A and B are shown apart, each in its own frame.
Chain A
Amino acid sequence: MSLFLLEIRQLAEIEAMAASKKLITREEWEKKLSDVKIRKEDMNKLVMNFLVTEGYVEAAEKFRMESGTEPDIDLATITDRMAVKKAVQSGNVEDAIEKVNDLNPEILDTNPQLFFHLQQQRLIELIRNGKVEEALEFAQEELAPRGEENQSFLEELERTVALLAFEDVSNCPVGELLDISQRLKTASEVNAAILTSQSHEKDPKLPSLLKMLLCAQNQLDEKAAYPRVNDLSTATLEDPAV
């Protein structure tokens, strides 16, 4: 009986909370939004930042010409950066390392973790191509010495070499290392390192703003019912559920 009473009390509290939530109509909300002023140049800078960071070099060039917004780095370097990224994504790691060194030799010298991950990716590619003996030789010569110096490198190396214990890697617990996602992860790490070396943020600002929007909406949901943006791709305001 007491449990039943408790349930009723909780329901009553929920209803009271719902009733106490402030309701904001579409008109009110749109008026509030129209009062907020955003400068066109700021918008353009955000778009340019996104295009540059993500490596859309042609789009960035056209956008520069059309909007007059200057990128904060030389667009020619984007082409080089994207070439490195593409090389890693297609499994051509040696070529990628060469290109990074051409771009800026200090990047790999000052970032041992990145260099290790590139070498690890190279080992993965050798294993993928069934070059077992070559893979073991390469790992012994290039990666084992780094593993001796750094415990986390050693553990990653062990995980990678463990691929060789399985003739059928589809049943292998570390089989994800052979997925394309692993290449993308390494490519993303190289991309970030090049951007950092160019004194540029490694992540574009636009996605961060969208995350902040979602976060703010979630917090506001607790206090009010208001027209929400549920679909970021259309940014349509949807009427509050009363």
Chain B
Amino acid sequence: MLRGFRSFHPLVLLLYYIAVIAGLMLNQHPIFLTAAFLSIIFVNLILDKGIELNKWKYMIIFLDLFVFVFTPVFNQQGNIVLFELFSRAFYLEAVIQGAMIALTLSGILALFTTFNIVMTPDKFLYLFSKFFPKWALILMLALRFMPLFRKRLADIQDVQEMKGVSMKDGKLRDKAQNGMLFLQILLTYSLEEAMQTADSMSARGYGLQKRSQYKAYRWKSRDWSMLILLFFLSLSTLIGWQSNKTILTLTPELESILLQGYSWFYLLGWFLLISLPIWTEGKEVIKWNFYQREI
């Protein structure tokens, strides 16, 4: 059984991700973005000890460096010149801008690693089938075909290798041509087979009446409370953005980076919004420790 953050209804989870991604793009302020990035990393750690994030770390670092280095080169708006290189001025504002973009990008990428942990394909398809039932059915079929075709491709490769057709040696041209030949065999083979699948679908009554659905995820009362919490937290973020409290003004004049007054309130709301998984998962961790102590 699923517990913690993963056990919420897929729709609630999807809304959480939409809210956080929108927030990451709207709250263009170094402190807000840093808080977001750190809490997303913490979410990663609490969900799967950072295994998934580890796979993506090089891409995140590379993109960050790329953006951070090149933004000041091209962004020529600002008042405070840091230094000059090859008769191009480097502005402090542009450097801050670069850092903010890098933080936004890495925040979004790190968030997507948690998305891949939380929104498993079955939840994803469940949401799809709500909105586009026919397309979701095609996706389900295709998703089942993927491992099957992989196996078939391996078989085809083995058989063809006995005939001397392989992708292991030869020129690039020959390799590519042979690879495509394998795919062509896979195509005719699988299409013939698939017609059987289709006929058995028809034989079981597909298309005769409206399709009924198995409800894998039921809406529980805690989904309501989570939804209401999500609504108010994203509303506070939206209001903060609308009143310019969560944005660092770069031009015409650089604002002080330090937060003042109401900005702290919005920062709290933003932090609470991102760290919803931390509270729900953290509750489970505390429970676990508590029960262990009881024993």
Answer yes or no: are A and B bound together in one complex: no
